[in-house]
Chain A
Amino acid sequence: MITPIELFAQQAVNGLSLGAMYALLALGFTLVYGILELINFAHFNVFMIGSFVGLIVLQALGIAGQSVVLHGAPLIFALLLALIVTMLVCGILGVLIERFTLRPMRGVRGPMAMITTIGVSYILYNVVLLATNAQALNFPDPLATQDFDIHHVVIRAKQILIWIISLILMVGLDQFVRRSRLGKAMRATAQDAEAARMMGVDVDRVVSTAFFAGSALAGAAGLIFGLYYNFTQYSIGYSAGLRAFTAAVLGGIGNVPGAMLGGILIGLIETMSSQYIATKWADVIIFSILILVLVFKPAGLLGALAPNRS
């Protein structure tokens, strides 16, 4: 019989995995928001498309259902290929969305750009809904089931994999924004696009890059989602996306470490409320905590309020 402490530890493991998924998704939100102050709702469904791209790549490699399990080099090759193709396709999709629906609206005040992203989001959602006839699909599972049992706390190899991939992508993004030339240009654009332009920053290129990077991360998250849960469906962007958005706001939107922290906190709150209260109350608890945090710290846990740009 599992002891209360072991049970708590097991739920923490569950929460961390869920949180890593939210954090990956939250990064893309935060990246675009940080530069454009735009909440990009299309992000939810770029993530969903990512899972389908991953599914198609893996199936094209002959990996379908639960029957094909790979090891060693073929596994790494298959996963890397799926990851690269998914990130590229989603990144390009993100750039196209920005170029054709958002750039014409740059400089327009008010919520128009945000509403446009909701529209794009619904288009992607409905296209996949119609293309798949809304069926949930079985996602290939080439990873061997490997469990580590430490004092009744089971950690699955897949969970470790998602922690590692999430951590690499998050640290990579953080370093990119902090240290690279383009990252500097991004931060400059975020602070004051007009001034950055006067200093010779190619703002269009910066925005495109942000959309590419954010959408590629969403694609990676989609692939990881599929590998982890072994299913995908047109609707997966909806609830995961909403939680990820909440995570970004909780951590401080526009702040990369904040998105990571927010994601992991939301994941932990969700599993702990399922364990100690009831699953049906999880949403109420998550959003109550969000409201409380925003009342006392409006910029989120790690965020700083954006400078006044009037």
Chain B
Amino acid sequence: MSISRRSASKFLAGFAAISLTPIRSAFAAGETYSIGITLPLTGADAEAARLILNGATLAISEANDSGELKGITLKPMILNNASATAGQYDPAQAATNARKLVADGKVLANVGPEMSGSGKAMAPILSMGNLATITPSSTAPVITDPSAAGEFDPGGKPIYFRTVTTDAYQGPNMANFYAETLKVPSVYLLDDSGAYGVGLADAFGKQAAIKGIKVIGRDRLDPKAADYSATLTKIASTGAASLYYGGTMQAGVKLVKQAYQIIPKLIKGGGDGILSPEMVTAAGFPAAEGWYCTNASPHVIDDPKLAEWVALYTKTYGVQPDDYAVTAYDAALVAIAGIKAVQKTGKKLTAANVRDAIQTVKIIGLQGPISFDSHGDLSSRIVSVFQFHEDKSAPTDFLKQYRYIGVAPQT
């Protein structure tokens, strides 16, 4: 629907440009700026990316319709961060997209990326271009770590803002949950070789050791390989009581299926990378049953206060939102708040000015109060824990196939 409306307006604009040129200049206030949206819209991450895209575009179209933007129009500039060769998110493609955003003078801010691997590639380019990006889901701590600023923030000013907390909390808080709630004596760590997965498993392992969980071993899966039986047989032979997997669904689908056969009795968990519809559609029950996972945001989607928003989202896009659709909506709200703040001061609308404004933004988003620390990280540090559990009454409704366990204990 939105596409047809957009193309209709494009057509009208073109029509006006040809025949009514003098009149069009009278509407100069209706200038159009862009907010970039960079997500892996094809490949293994597409399904989750789609939910994020919807959240961000919903916020932008609401802002346009409300008239709060004082005459300017914001247009989403949607760029695909995935490539066919990678089959999932592709950092090289993300870097190309970042250059495209920086080169375009009309882009005021960006929403994305979904994956930290892409974020690492984009951050230095955005930093040199002084263009802020607000990620709704990328959680690798290193990107905003001041000690890595030389690599990811050569421009000096923070440009990587997040409406989720980081794996510096997602991994360790889950380790606290393993230790305090599940009371597991030992754990085996796996990751999927990606920046996100390695960092998450590292952070989990460090805190697990502090909490007295014995880390029995650590190995790395090739996400393109099909057979993990050797790795899982090895894990079974170590007698580990639990497994923690840092990674996304490309390796996750096969891991979950084969773990069900080879290590059925172990407690198994992962991060937000496995809180994905593919857990149900591809890995499937009974294999997915019992897996724990986390989200680096508060779980608000079932909050009655959000019911109206959830209904609107579902009606507009024909799918149910997830928590990262909420944080994506919030990310776009942050960008819009930054733009409005610049408008208020009367300064020129440039990416650099919008970045400065975002740094001090304080808004109430769907998830609650949003503000950033001096590095761009979200001030709130809530990690939610979920567990997959089959609901046979609604097998096609992904959101019913896992249940909210609670907020993971914070360190």
Contacts and interface: CB of A to CB of B under 8 A. Distances in A.
A282 B151 CA distance: 31
B155 interface: no
B257 A2 contact: no
Contact of B226 (A7, A130, A137, A225): A225
Contact of A278 (B47, B220, B282): B220
B299 to A, nearest CB: 25
Contact of B222 (A130, A135, A282): A282
A52 B222 CA distance: 23
A179 to B, nearest CB: 34
Contacts of B234: 11, 274-275
B233 A7 contact: yes
B224 interface: yes
A239 B87 contact: no
B30 interface: no
Given A136-B249, A136-B253, A279 B220 contact: yes
Contacts of A125: 84
B285 interface: yes
Given A125-B84, A235-B87, A238-B224, A65 B284 contact: yes
B43 interface: yes
Interface residues of A, number: 45
A156 B261 contact: yes
A135 B257 contact: no
B282 A136 contact: yes
Instruction: Give the most central of A156, A230, A239: most B CB within 10 Å.
Output: A230
Interface string A43-80: 00000000000000000000001100000000000000
A280 interface: yes
A99 to B, nearest CB: 26
Nearest to B262: A154
Contacts of A282: 222
A208 interface: no
Contacts of A130: 42
A279 B230 contact: yes
A181 to B, nearest CB: 38
B352 interface: no
A280 B228 CA distance: 11
Interface residues of B, number: 41
Contact of A1 (B46, B239, B282, B284): B239
Contacts of A287: none
Given A134-B42, A229-B254, A278-B220, A234 B226 contact: no
A229 B227 contact: yes
A65 B288 CA distance: 13
B261 A137 contact: no
Contacts of A136: 44, 249-250, 253, 278, 282
B336 interface: no
B230 A280 contact: no
A14 B226 contact: no
A124 B229 CA distance: 28
A282 B226 CA distance: 13
Interface string B115-136: 0000000000000000000000
A195 to B, nearest CB: 42
Contacts of A230: 257, 284
Contacts of A112: none
Nearest to B261: A156
29 contacts: A1-B239, A2-B237, A10-B233, A14-B227, A17-B229, A126-B84, A130-B42, A133-B47, A135-B47, A135-B278, A136-B44, A136-B249, A136-B250, A136-B253, A138-B281, A231-B282, A231-B283, A234-B87, A236-B226, A239-B222, A239-B226, A240-B226, A270-B227, A271-B230, A274-B234, A275-B230, A279-B228, A280-B193, A280-B219
Q: Ordered nearest first, which 3 A-B pairs have the shortest CB separation?
A: A274-B230, A271-B230, A136-B282
Given A17-B229, A66-B285, A136-B253, 6 more contacts: A2-B237, A133-B42, A156-B261, A233-B282, A271-B230, A279-B228
Interface of A: 1-2, 7, 10-11, 14-15, 17-18, 21, 65-66, 125-126, 129-130, 133-138, 145, 156, 225, 229-231, 233-236, 238-240, 270-272, 274-275, 278-280, 282-283
